[in-house]
Amino acid sequence: MPAFLISFLAFLAPVLKSVAGQILASLGVGFISYMGVSALTDSMFAYVQGNMAGIPYASVQFLYMFKLLTCINMILSAYVGKFVVSGAKKLIFS
């Protein structure tokens, strides 16, 4: 029985090593992608909020009433998620 277990583990070790390497690489690239794209979307959202100073007060009330700033934030967050998932898929399935 131990001979079978040793031969099985000898077969399984390279497979686990490559899978573990792929998982760690995809997590690393996913984290880097998330941080980069998140910084980009944060700056875009700050730009949108900074330019609201030139908008008339009634228009600003309209934006807040219909939660359009929350909508913009959700759209930018969805793009961040899309970029992270596509980056991770390229590493895992390539």
Say how many residues make up the chain. Answer: 94
Angle at 46 between CA 48 and CA 83, to 5 degrees: 95
pLDDT average, residue stretch 20-44: 74
Q: Is the dihedral of CA 74, 79, 84, 90 positive or negative?
A: positive
d(Cα 30, Cα 88) in Å, to the nearest integer? 6
Mean pLDDT, rounded, of the chain: 76
The SS3 assignment for 49 reads: helix
Calculate the CA 78 to chain-centre distance: 9
Out of 13-22, 48-57, 66-75, which region has the weakest mean confidence (pLDDT)?
A: 13-22
Tokens of 90: 């390229």
Whether the predicted pLDDT of 1 surpasses 60:
no
